[in-house]
Amino acid sequence: MFTGIVEEMGGITVMNKSLSGAKLTILASTVMSDLKIGDSVSVNGICLTVVSRSERDFSVEVSPETLSVTTLGSFAVGMPVNLERAMKLNERIG
């Protein structure tokens, strides 16, 4: 679950589209502090799963269906995106 409160603005550094969907790499700082592979991240309000990460960025894979029914299909390298980590059970909302 997400609060809808943007934690930071990230930036798309890589976007590889294929018939099987797309893989995006997003440069970030704040959300990287405790982000793990398998975590959910809201990218412009779209819930995506982290498939890899480094110190400065993380990658997500996007299905063809998600590309067609969300704004993700129009994303491009260099585009800024709103980022938010999923809530933890013990966090306040807001």
pLDDT in tens, 71-84: 999 999 999 999 99
Q: pLDDT exceeding 70 applies to what percent of the chain?
A: 96
Is 72 a domain residue?
yes
Q: Which domain holds residue 48?
A: 8-85
For residue 54, how far is the Cα from the chain centroid?
Answer: 14
- State pTM to two decimals: 0.91
Is 90 a domain residue?
no
CATH number at residue 67: 2.40.30.20
Separation between Cα atoms, residue 47 and residue 41, nearest integer Å: 6
Per-residue model confidence as pLDDT tens digits over 17-51? 999 999 999 999 999 999 999 999 999 999 999 99
| Contact by Cβ (8 Å): 36, 50 | yes
Is 2 a domain residue?
no
Is 54 a domain residue?
yes
Is 91 a domain residue?
no
Average pLDDT over residues 2-29: 95
Question: In one letter, which amino acid is 61?
Answer: E
Is 62 a domain residue?
yes
Q: What is the domain count for the chain?
A: 1
| Contact by Cβ (8 Å): 89, 12 | no
